[in-house]
Amino acid sequence: MDQESGRAVARGHARTKSNTSVGSNNPTRPRHTRSKSSKKLDSIYSDEATVAFIKRTLCPHQLTGPEGSRARNISKPLSELLPPLTSSNQVDLQLYALISIIIKDFIHAWYSKITPDHEFTDQVVHIIAHCTRALEQRIRAVDLEALIFDELPELIDSHVTAYRTAHSGSYTSLLVADPREIYHAINPHPALSPVPFEPGSLASSDQAENEAAWRQLLIQGVLSHLLPPEDLNNPPLRVLVTEIFSELIIGRGVCGNICEGWFIWDVVTKLLAIVRPPEPDVHQEPPPSPNRLEKFGLLADDSDDVEEPSAVTTTSPMDTLSGMFLQVMQYLFLAFISIRAFFTALSDAATLPPRTNSRADAIHADLDDNGSLYQQSTHDSTKRPILGMSLWSCCSHLLSLDLQMPWLTAMGSYIQWLLICSSWKVGYTNSRLDRLLSHHIRTKLLDLPARLPTILLLIRTNMFPNNSLGPGRVPPTPDQALELRAKCAAAIIAALPPIVVKQLFVGREEGDVQKQVESMLDVFGDAYLNKHLIVGIVDLIVVRLFPELEREGINAVLKRDESREEVRV
């Protein structure tokens, strides 16, 4: 009997194994596929593979020659073979990977057919390295807090306001203009004029020419302050670097797919998937194998000994009171811990350095009594407080809180006024709360040497798959774009806490909440309107990095180029 039962169990296990291996709904098969693809990506984008790719592309002449010297050059680090780009080796690694892709597909594709000489490529690399080092010095002088949390959200806020104004439909004229024309009238830009109503039309070609001219002037103005005079007087190098930055990086990258609505929705979905912690997979771990005694039925079944719960359970008033008491005590303990941590952090913030210099005047000294929060900022004025930046109003407009819950928007504005402008001044510039918030922002969010390598790697994996330009991503069909918008809306709803969703969308069912979030995402649905926002962001970043361009204007750049041409002739 023991042998027969053992053979029966063995046959059952074999049958189960064959069913799980042959079945089409096997949940383990996609996991094997994903693991292979992830291993392939790791092998392509790992640090060792990236270093080898950079050496093959930018240092091929140093990897040839006698066996001994070639082995030494292969084992050398990049810092000994190539000039440094920044002060961080990890950032240099990712930047050189991007430069290698651009040079391999944009320069070597035609230059290697002319001559095997590598001097021209080396000069291009040295020019780019000079530009990146100068850019790093300028980035250190930029107020990143104000740029990221105040000025950029202000541009997004103006984009949302102009979009809703253009699509509101409440116009006094019976002959309603096109929403693109209304938006362009609210946020005009010379690079995006005239308004292209149809692709391939005369207005569309004129707008493309104006955009190309804007890119050329922008890059020429930037290079005039970055490159040394000897490189500026070298026309082939200057033209080539200008074409790389204006056409390849800004033209194809920044003003290309990035402006498409489906691209923005897809990026938001991926970012939310990265930020959110992964949900546990119930199919990942197999159930525990039964005991050998249980397998052969040699253990007694204790299920009969367990008392079945009664169908109707009654709770006494004492149990209810004790449960309420425990819950209240938990909330009180949590509040005590939070308040204690908050005041401890405020006391530690007294030793933090101020955010402004001593010669600056207080921004609140000139505030009037009518409740105006801010005045026109000047060079000598202090920085705007963290609680008074445009990030909060931008989030409110993106969520349409001013339309759905105007009382909540008014309450938030009043609390903001109390914290900044009233006699309390808890959150005014350089207060303890303001310095504490600024310290956490600088140390946790704006730690560029720690975060830039991950961001650059994400850009490389998405824009240059397999370390090559390759064909561009096929634009999705309108139905596929709607699916991407729906996925983005679902990701946003899942990222918000349930209590926030319940309060924001009071009295709405799940389908109505999904539709409302999708209607909010329509603000980024038009590529031409999104291009206004992207172009404005590029202009703002360039002006903050190169304030000379704002003071001099583009005419000074053109005059310098004309004088340089005359001297060369």
Are the beta carbons of 222 and 498 closer than 8 angstroms? no
* Residues whose CB is less than 8 angstroms from the CB of residue 300 and which lie 6 or more positions away in sequence, other chains included: none
Sign of the CA dihedral 433, 437, 438, 442?
positive
Confirm whether 318 is domain-assigned. Answer: no
Q: What is the pLDDT of residue 463?
A: 74
Q: What is the pLDDT of residues 301-318, one digit of tens each?
A: 444 444 445 445 566 777
Tokens of 413: 């504005």
Span 103-131, pLDDT tens digits: 888 888 888 888 878 888 888 888 889 88
Contact 127, 223 (CB under 8 A): no
Q: Which two tokens stand for residue 75?
A: 């084992």
Domain span including residue 115: 42-140
How high is the pLDDT of residue 487? 93
pLDDT in tens, 152-164: 999 999 999 999 9
pLDDT at site 346: 78
AA identity, residue 94: Q
What is the per-residue pLDDT for 176? 64
With a cut of 80, say whether residue 96 has pLDDT above it.
yes
In a domain, 126, yes or no: yes
- On whether residue 84 sits in a domain, the answer given is yes
Which tops the pLDDT comparison, 105 or 387? 387
Residues in contact with 238: Cβ distance below 8 Å, sequence separation at least 6, in sequence order:
223, 227, 231, 232
How far is 116 from 371, CA to CA, in rounded Å?
69
Q: Which residue has the higher pLDDT, 462 or 108?
A: 108
Is residue 91 a part of any domain in this protein?
A: yes
Residues in the chain: 569
In a domain, 127, yes or no: yes
Asked whether the whole model's pTM tops 0.85, one would answer: no
Q: Dihedral angle at the C-alpha atoms of 325, 328, 330, 333, nearest 10 degrees?
A: -120
d(CA 61, CA 309): 80
Assigned domain for 102 exists = yes
Residue 135 lies in a domain: yes
How far is Cα 444 from Cα 440, in angstroms, rounded to an integer?
Answer: 6
The per-residue pLDDT for 232 is 77
Number of domains observed in the structure of the chain = 1
Whether pLDDT at 180 is above 60: yes
For residue 76, is it within any domain?
yes
